[in-house]
A and B are shown apart, each in its own frame.
Chain A
């Protein structure tokens, strides 16, 4: 049922342009009123090029599972774990080159039959190739 050969599969490269409106909408949905996310003049006064994204903003830089040859019914998945590592905060105006990689697949017996989980990482770099962030996600399929 599990094809372990899928481990190591990588997506194509996606280039995401980070927009001010997306940062404001994301912070607003969380209810995060950090002025670094809303007030560009303030963010600039703190040494940033523009608005600063909240720490979980990398979630919006989405790469489809199908790129990793993973086909699942979205409504039957639950996120088990999430980690973000940042070299620096994401700021508006960033163009980030992102690649996703399937790094692990696990199977274990749950109460209602076998449960499969998979782990994927998204790595984001700027256009000069400098590392910006790493996202590691564990998804459980039920």
Chain B
């Protein structure tokens, strides 16, 4: 696990974390755990009906990877106080998702860190883009 101390974090510092390849079983597992039963994530026929090549991964799964990743940066020193993304590209079974973060702000009084975050399936091909904040324990 990553876990950064408050004093180790500096502006423009970058972090990266790559997830194992997504498979269809993970999409079904996530569907069950999240309670979102949009069948375009489980049934190829439903996905093709709306012009997709087949089932696609939940955008929220990529956001979940980012939640895990930002959570790894703070570890037990605080918590993820904000997580925001735009979904900008589709993720397919077999894709390998890489999470990226860059420190954009460090507030010594509030003890918060701001980050630009994104996921991509290959270099230059983002699937989510957004921002996160971490609140450190005082």
The residues of A with any CB-CB pair to B shorter than 8 Å are: 22, 25-32, 34, 36, 46, 52, 54-56, 59-60, 62, 74-89, 142
B15 interface residue, CB < 8 Å from A? no
Tell me how many residue pairs across A and B have CB atoms closer than 8 Å: 110
Given the known inter-chain contacts A75-B46, A89-B79, please indicate yes or no for A26 contacting B34, CB distance below 8 A: yes
Of A22, A34, A60, the residue contacting B71 (CB under 8 A) is A34
Chain A: which residue is nearest B33 at the CB level?
A29
B87 touches A79 (CB 8 A): yes
Contact with A along B17-54 (1 / 0, CB 8 A): 00110000010011011111111100000100110000
B residues contacting the other copy or chain, number (CB 8 A):
40
Please, how many angstroms separate the alpha-carbon atoms of A27 and B68 in the complex?
8
> What are the 10 tightest A-B residue pairs by CB atom distance, in nearest-first order?
A55-B67, A83-B84, A32-B68, A29-B33, A30-B64, A55-B80, A29-B30, A29-B29, A56-B67, A26-B33
Which residues on A sit within 8 Å (CB–CB) of B104?
none
B82 interface residue, CB < 8 Å from A? yes
Contact with A along B54-78 (1 / 0, CB 8 A): 0000011101110110111000100
Chain A: which residue is nearest B137 at the CB level?
A47
Least CB distance, A113 to chain B, in whole angstroms: 13
B87 touches A29 (CB 8 A): no
Please, how many angstroms separate the alpha-carbon atoms of A31 and B18 in the complex?
12
B86 interface residue, CB < 8 Å from A? yes
Given the known inter-chain contacts A25-B33, A29-B33, A60-B33, please indicate yes or no for A78 contacting B68, CB distance below 8 A: no
Given the known inter-chain contacts A30-B65, A32-B68, A142-B50, please indicate yes or no for A56 contacting B35, CB distance below 8 A: no
B60 touches A82 (CB 8 A): yes
Please, how many angstroms separate the alpha-carbon atoms of A81 and B49 in the complex?
23
A–B pairs, 15, beta carbons within 8 Å: A31-B26, A31-B68, A55-B83, A56-B67, A59-B60, A60-B34, A62-B36, A80-B86, A81-B84, A81-B85, A82-B60, A82-B87, A83-B130, A85-B81, A86-B81
